[in-house]
Every structure is written in structure tokens, then in C-alpha cells.
Amino acid sequence: MGMYKATTQNIEITVEPDFIEDRSDPAQGRFFWSYTIEIANRSERTVQLVSRHWRIMDAQGRLEEVKGAGVVGEQPILREGESFSYTSGCPLTTPSGFMVGSYQMVDEAGDSFEVEIPAFSLDSPHMPRVLN
């Protein structure tokens, strides 16, 4: 499906989505993706990921917003040159969609800033074929 990358204030976010066939049931309108995110601190300061904000859109244009503390139950602290990876999942009722979001970070001086998570598409092999 490809990799997606965005860098904000020298914090680099890489996303790799993957359609999970065995957790999906297209006949029941259930489609499941995992996505692996790497957060790499390319800056010279120490930062902590405080919270996340996701916007998830399905193929029908339905928007779901998800806000919460940290990622996978953690609020990782990244020193200069360090990175943190995690994998999470997203269920949809349509065979495609996309996700975009941001992380709220804080640096050692107590300044908070937002880091962009690149928009990435959730595609499955079950999408209707469109002929141009």
C-alpha cells in the first residue's frame, strides 16, 4: 500500500497501512486495517508525545474523530535521534477510507506543538473497480 511521510519541526512521522484480510468480513461489511507508525525525533531537543487526534473518513464520507492521551497507552519521550514505533488498527464498514491526524507534543522547555500525521488511504482488494 505504500508508505506515507510528513515532517513537522524535525519530527518525522512515517505510516505504513496494511489491509488485514483475516480480520475482515466483506459480506458483513467489516473491513480491518492495521497501520504501523514510526515517530522519529530528528530535532536537537527532547520531546514527549502527549496526545493524538485522528480524523477517519470512510468511503461514504462519514467522519469519525478520535482524541485521546498518548498512543497505545504510552506517552513516549524521544530524545534527539530516538524513534518510537507502534501498530494499531482501524475497522471500517466500507472497503476503503482514509485517516489523517496530528500528535500533540511538548518539548523540554514546556512548549507544546502539533505534529502532522500524513493523510493515508485505507484500501482493500474489495473495492468496486472503477473504469475510466
pLDDT for 124: 94
Q: Is the pLDDT of residue 130 over 80?
A: no
Dihedral sign, CA of 114, 118, 122, 128? positive
Dist CA 68 CA 71 (whole Å): 8
Grid coordinates of 51 = 496526545
Mean pLDDT over residues 8-34, rounded? Answer: 97
Summarised one tens digit per residue, pLDDT across range 24-77 is: 999 999 999 999 999 999 999 999 999 999 999 999 999 999 999 999 999 999
Contact 45, 108 (CB under 8 A): yes
> 127: pLDDT confidence band, cut at 50, 70 and 90?
confident
Domain 4-121: assigned CATH number: 2.60.40.1470
Could you tell me the residue ranges of all domains in the chain? 4-121
